[in-house]
Amino acid sequence: MRRLLAALLLIALSSSPAAAQFSTPKASNEPVLIKADQLTHHQDLGTTVAVGNVEITQADRILLADAVTYSEREDKVTATGNVSLTQATGEVLFADYLELTGGMRDGYIENLRALLADNSRLAANAARRVDGNRKEMTRAVYSPCDLCKTDPTRAPLWQIKAVKIVHDEVARDIEYEDATLEMWGVPVAYFPTLSHADPSVRQRSGILAPKLGQSGDVGTIVGVPYYWAISPTQDFTIEPIAYSSDGGLVATEYRRRFAKGSLNVAGSLGYLERRDGEIRTGERNAQGHVDATTRFDLTDLWRAGADLKRSTDRLYLKRYKLSDPEVLTSRAFAEGFDGRDYAVINAYSFQGLRATDIRNQSPLLAPYALYSFVGEPGRYGGRFSIDASAMSLTRDVGADSNRLAMTSGWTLPYTTPSGEIYTLSTLIYTDGYWATDVNDPARPGRSFEDGFVGRAMPQMKLEWRYPWVRRDGPLRTIIEPIADVVASPIGGNSIRIPNEDSQAFELDETNLFSANRFAGFDRVSSGQRVDYGIKLGLYSDLGRSATLLLGQSYAFQRDSSYVPGTGVNETWSDYVGRVTLSPGPYLDLVYRFRVAEDNLAFRRHEIGISTGPDWLRLDSYYLQVAQRPDFPQIGRRRELATIVTARLTADWSAQARLVRDLGASDSKNRTAGVTFNYGDECFQLAFDLSRRFTTDGSLKPDTTAFVRLVFKNLGQVEARGLGF
């Protein structure tokens, strides 16, 4: 009886020959439960037989059969009739006949069918395990696709058939002989031999899916990547890419994981044709790029890292279809987090890739340090805060700036018994600069004398809010008037202080009630002013809402730090506001605006709308900005971006997108495209067609097609960059 139990246990623990689960389970010490209509032991023959509804259970494994026989003399176990084996991992094997020999190391299965844990299916006329480490299947068919519910006899979307499939457990390889890939029952690809690592292998060196494309600028594109699995914690990929019109390049990527960090170094190098504007020179030179990233945890509070991003040519990445950034930012840093405190020291370098960027005017920041401290509430609820900065900025051509700055503050909130909310804030801005080559506005083309300039600027703000709330059944109404008074000395922004981090200012609802409306440290809001506005809100218990914020400010004197076009260059500021609507699941709208105080002319519109049910959704964004005197090169801007997404069926979806420049005299499309996607349990298809209408240097407008096929558990076929 013990030999029978051991044999039946080994049947239940025998490994599956299925393509997606080839690892052999280890023996278990769990008890075995045997149920059968009849159990007979033939002492003379040395056999034990279990007959009738045989069920053998151990832990999560279940073996079912009409009959199970164990021969002690032949050391052989057989299971016949409606054999099924359910593995602990979820695989279920079906067979007409199962036989194990050689100390249960070798076996044979007749008419195998398998349902794998991921619902994939495998069938074979016969499967054999030899030498205890090699499985062989003949006339095998594999597919992860579900069968047709109305006609299960129909061929699945795709399947792979092979005359022979061999799994080498030592080398952990799966080999196919005479394999054919079929789609809807029609052969589409034939492989005399095909091999890949079994699913237990996490990484394996080898050739990856090739890249094929076509571009009107660089011609036919062919790339064949090779993956090198150096160790479980590091790998390396090298991809030679050939361009029929421009030569070729080699792209590489090295990745490594450490116990407390990571390193990723990617880049490319090629011997490519040099361009002189739009003219091909016929000469070739070395071009390339680097994109490296590293992160390390130094302690529980501190971490450090670095990013290195550089390209030899402004259009190199875009022309050769590697990426399309506008600025490459390199950075080295160390930062620490401790409760509410934060500190970081950085070094920044920039490479602009836009046509208007001038390389020798790009700044180098080293160091650029920031420190932020927020104290615990005091006896009366007041709280201290500190924001400090140290910066050294240099350029090859242009102004250099060295700065030490600190903003110290104390904030005290108070709520009256009637519900009014008062917040008192006191701040002092202190900083010192040593600047060189700073332009003198009074003497065009000339600079101030190099030297030190400092500033100490106190500021006080008192804010009042009084929210009113009313409930009418499931609807809540909130009315909240807001007003504040901000006071500080007039001036404080010396023209000898270079403005590096406070340039892009425009009044809107996000900075209307800010004590200092400028971002960064180089500029400070000065003088006395009053800000006022109102918030209105309707909120439903069902999740529907509508809100409005409208506000304006009045300054008792003009602040020359605000240039015309920002909305606050006069005593009365422009009106700013935001409207949000979400009346149900089929509409979300956000409208932000700025309106001139004198003639109510709109200076800025931003409208974002998302509407429609899940199966047909429209997302659109409209932007209109009046021309600003401080940015004459931009001019008036009107732009519309629209995306329509449709779910055509359970498996098919489509998307159309358009970005259009609505200029007053030359309205034109900037980009447009359509995408179709198909995805089910075993197959994915994506097709994308896009058009770029703009010209960037020597890059002309072009059209790009992209197609991607993904076969579950087999890999993917991809073609991209098909331009014309």
Q: Name residue 116's amino acid.
A: L
Residue 360: the pLDDT is: 86
Q: Please give the Cα distance from 289 to 302 (Å, whole number).
A: 30
**654: CB partners within 8 A, 6+ apart:** 645, 646, 648, 674, 675, 676, 677
Q: How confident is the model at residue 199 (pLDDT cuts 50, 70, 90)?
A: low
Provide the pairing of β-strand 715-723 with 211-215. Answer: parallel
For the chain, give the percent of residues with pLDDT over 90: 43
pLDDT at residue 632 tops 60: no
- Residue 29: per-residue pLDDT: 61
Which SS3 state, helix, strand or coil, does residue 9 take?
helix
Question: Higher model confidence: residue 88 or residue 141?
Answer: 141
Q: Tell me what the mean pLDDT of segment 691-700 comes to.
A: 83
Please give the DSSP secondary-structure letter assigned to residue 192. Answer: E
The amino acid that residue 165 corresponds to is I
Q: How far apart are CA 328 and CA 310, in angstroms?
A: 6
Judge contact between 59 and 71, C-beta under 8 A.
no
Q: So what's the pLDDT on residue 198?
A: 65
Which has the minimum average pLDDT: 273-287, 294-308, 601-615? 273-287
Question: From the CA atom positions of the chain, what is the Rg in Å?
Answer: 36
Report the pLDDT value the prediction gives residue 174, as an integer from 0 to 100: 76
- Give me 51's structure tokens: 């007959």
> Mean pLDDT over residues 641-661, rounded?
94
Check residues 633 and 182 and name the one with the higher pLDDT: 182
Q: What is the value of pTM for the model shown?
A: 0.77
Q: Where are the domains of the chain?
A: 2-201
- Determine how many CB atoms are found less than 10 A away from the CB of residue 695: 11
Measuring CA to CA, which residue among 134, 195, 184, 115 is closest to residue 162? 195
Query: pLDDT-derived band of residue 103, with 50, 70 and 90 as boundaries?
Result: low
Contacts 24+ apart (CB under 8 A), 53-57: 54/79, 56/8, 56/9, 56/11, 56/12, 56/32, 57/12, 57/32, 57/33
**Mean pLDDT of the region 359-368:** 91
Q: Which of 505-509, 634-638, 647-651 has the lowest mean pLDDT?
A: 634-638
Mean pLDDT of the chain: 85
Whole-number pLDDT of residue 438: 86
Task: Classify domain 2-201 by CATH number.
Answer: 2.60.450.10
Is it the case that residue 200 has pLDDT exceeding 80? no
Per-residue model confidence as pLDDT tens digits over 417-437: 999 999 999 999 999 999 888
Q: Which residue in the block uniquely carries the two structure tokens 């990929």? A: 237
In the chain, the percentage of residues whose pLDDT exceeds 70 is: 89
pLDDT (0 to 100) of residue 576: 96
pLDDT at residue 3 is higher than 70: no
Is the pLDDT reported for residue 491 higher than 50?
Answer: yes
- Give the whole-angstrom CA distance, residue 252 versus residue 254: 7
